[in-house]
Structure 1
Amino acid sequence: MTGALTAAQAMAAAAARLRAAGVDSPARDARVLLAHAARIEAARVTLIAPEELDHDVADRYEQLIALRAIRVPVSHLIGERDFYGRRFKVSGEVLDPRPETETLIEAALAEPFERLLDLGVGSGCILVTLLAERPGATGLGVDLSEAACLQASANAVLHRVTPRADIRQSDWFDAVTGTFDLIVSNPPYIAADEMAGLSEEVRRHEPHLALTDGGDGLGAYRRIAAGVAGHLRPGGRLLVEIGPTQAAAVCGIFSQAGLSDLNVVPDLDGRDRVVSARLR
């Protein structure tokens, strides 16, 4: 892709290369990565399509396409990902924010809350989004990964919720103090024997700590259920993201822990995505 190629020619060649590598949505990725290489908004790519690429832009684009062809996620290459109308900084140290997690956001915003706990804060996309959407709320986000805590802190600064966000390193509830009227979590729920079936982008480039418990995929829900009563106010809500086949098992775990008003919320594709519960 070096030489006097126009932007349109470079994009076409890149898309063909990504398609041959088995990348989903090769044309979209080629466009987004060209915008990043040229340091312009993706919407402006059409405007430069007839123009020859500068040598520096062509070199950056070649490097980006080479990495995408070996399945490095686009979000890692450009360092950010859109989530619920905001742009979050991401890296290989945290789980990529995903559209289906917006189901949890919608469920959380369906009722008022003042004090929020996010278990496994990761990039901070859930905690930061909920605080940004509810300016009167405060929140605590915890994660076992120090790198994730740093990433979440950076996103809290980016979206100006730092004065209302406390982010700590913790193994689930270990460093958590106080009670909350809303507890949320997108925990690792992939079973160990399902890991091989994940895409290369996820399996090779996202932290396994955020993907799997190394067992049946339900370990995190058991840990949450064991500690939630000590930190959820009476009548408070618990919302967790789940895998599409886990609703019955997670509801059973929460019911045994004394939680009530169990409800399963589907995502936009109709798949079970969130389990909600209350503390009696």
Structure 2
Amino acid sequence: MTAGDRFAGQSIETARRILTNLLGTQRIDSAELDARLLTGAVLGLDLTGLISAAKRILTSNEAAQLARFAQRRIDGEPVARILGAKEFWGLPLQLSADTLVPRPDTETIVEATLELLDTNGRRDRPLIIADLGTGSGAILLALLSELPNATGIATDINLDALRTARSNAAQLGLIERAHFIVCDYASALTGDFDLIVSNPPYIPSADIAGLDIEVRKHDPLRALDGGKDGLDAYRVIAPEAARLLVPGGLLVVEVGHDQSDDVTRLVAISGLALPAPPKADLEGIRRAVSGQKKP
């Protein structure tokens, strides 16, 4: 029996239960949530809609589409890739093949940045932000949503990634305060910035093959590979931040699970002060390293 046969003629409630079991047999920890999201996407229903329409029988087209989604998930494709969208900081973001799937770990960068800004004044003050290697635009757009008088420049070496970020800015009503430049990190930037943020590639090249299939096969390699020791991007970003930040301006970057000490040293070598210890994510990993330009 194929997956399509399993879903054919089933009610929404039964189809969702079948999909949960299918994913569970593949040892997918989030099987129940994934089944709800995929079923809801096929039917255009949220959780309330799935519950209220639980007894409705799937059409043949719906059963076939759910079977296709099920197979993609079984093959290791993340739900966010299948749906082409992911929520980050409460914001719905569209994805593309050229962007990372935003992860909860990266929200630590937003949290750390806001905490540092709060110690230096009001959130409604004018700020100029640069997000280096923006991908989907997640970090910049989250910050713009919290900082009403900030403007930002997002850079990425990949034009298609920038198109995705720009589309997200437009959909979120932030396009008037966001600008997009194709370049490698800050190579095309001049001027004075109050804040520079980045989630650069930081996986050591030799570790790529051992990553989870959801990352290894479905995230863009350019956004993962940080060079031999995973630190190539920071060797570029830290001195660029020292060049571009105004006195007192802040740098906040995401780092890998064992990189906070090394990145902190690179930040210090660039001439930036260390305004706060690295901030840990929900798993206790020191995820956000910050620097501050001296007066």
Any idea what SS the aligned residue of 2:273 has? Answer: strand
Q: Give unmatched runs, 5+ long, in structure 1.
A: none
- What are the residue-to-residue correspondences of 1:217-236 with 2, within 5 Å? 217-236=230-249
**Further displaced range: 50-59 or 178-187:** 50-59
Contact map agreement 1:23 1:71 (CA 8 A) in 2: no
Q: CA deviation at 1:233?
A: 0.6
| Structure 2 CA distance for aligned equivalents of residues 120 and 220 of structure 1 | 10
Counterpart check, 1:270 vs 2:284? yes
Any idea what SS the aligned residue of 1:167 has? Answer: strand
Any idea what the Cα deviations from partners look like across 1:178-201, whole Å, max 9, x if unmatched?
Answer: 110100000101111221221111
What does residue 115 of structure 1 align with? 128
What does residue 77 of structure 2 align with? 72
Contact map agreement 1:182 1:236 (CA 8 A) in 2: yes
| Structure 1 CA distance for aligned equivalents of residues 97 and 31 of structure 2 | 21
**Further displaced range: 53-62 or 146-155:** 53-62
Q: CA deviation at 1:103?
A: 1.1
Q: Give unmatched runs, 5+ long, in structure 2.
A: 1-5, 118-122
| Structure 2 CA distance for aligned equivalents of residues 3 and 207 of structure 1 | 35
| Structure 2 CA distance for aligned equivalents of residues 33 and 182 of structure 1 | 38
| Structure 1 CA distance for aligned equivalents of residues 245 and 194 of structure 2 | 6
1:203 aligns with one of 206, 210, 216 = 216
Counterpart check, 1:92 vs 2:97? yes
| Matched AA of 1:74 | V
Any idea what the Cα deviations from partners look like across 1:59-116, whole Å, max 9, x if unmatched?
Answer: 1111111111111111111111111111111122101111111111112222146110
| Structure 1 CA distance for aligned equivalents of residues 47 and 290 of structure 2 | 37
What does residue 120 of structure 2 align with? none
| Matched AA of 1:32 | L
Q: CA deviation at 1:264?
A: 0.7
- What are the residue-to-residue correspondences of 1:22-61 with 2, within 5 Å? 22-61=27-66
Contact map agreement 1:21 1:70 (CA 8 A) in 2: no
Contact map agreement 2:268 2:274 (CA 8 A) in 1: no
Any idea what the Cα deviations from partners look like across 1:221-254, whole Å, max 9, x if unmatched?
Answer: 1011222222111111000011121111001111
Q: CA RMSD in A?
A: 1.4
| Structure 2 CA distance for aligned equivalents of residues 266 and 198 of structure 1 | 22
| Structure 1 CA distance for aligned equivalents of residues 282 and 8 of structure 2 | 44
Any idea what SS the aligned residue of 2:136 has? Answer: coil
4+ aligned runs moved over 4 Å, structure 1: none
Counterpart check, 1:155 vs 2:168? yes
Contact map agreement 2:202 2:227 (CA 8 A) in 1: no
Any idea what SS the aligned residue of 1:245 has? Answer: coil
Q: CA deviation at 1:128?
A: 1.0
Q: CA deviation at 1:41?
A: 1.4
Any idea what SS the aligned residue of 1:127 has? Answer: helix
Q: CA deviation at 1:2?
A: 3.9
| Matched AA of 1:141 | A
Counterpart check, 1:186 vs 2:199? yes
Any idea what the Cα deviations from partners look like across 1:1-27, whole Å, max 9, x if unmatched?
Answer: 343211122122212222223333112
| Matched AA of 1:236 | G
Taking structure 1 as the reference length, the TM-score comes to: 0.96
Any idea what SS the aligned residue of 1:139 has? Answer: strand
| Structure 2 CA distance for aligned equivalents of residues 177 and 157 of structure 1 | 25
Any idea what SS the aligned residue of 2:246 has? Answer: strand
| Structure 1 CA distance for aligned equivalents of residues 241 and 180 of structure 2 | 18
What does residue 13 of structure 2 align with? 8
- What are the residue-to-residue correspondences of 1:158-169 with 2, within 5 Å? 158-169=171-182
Contact map agreement 2:16 2:39 (CA 8 A) in 1: yes
Any idea what SS the aligned residue of 2:278 has? Answer: strand
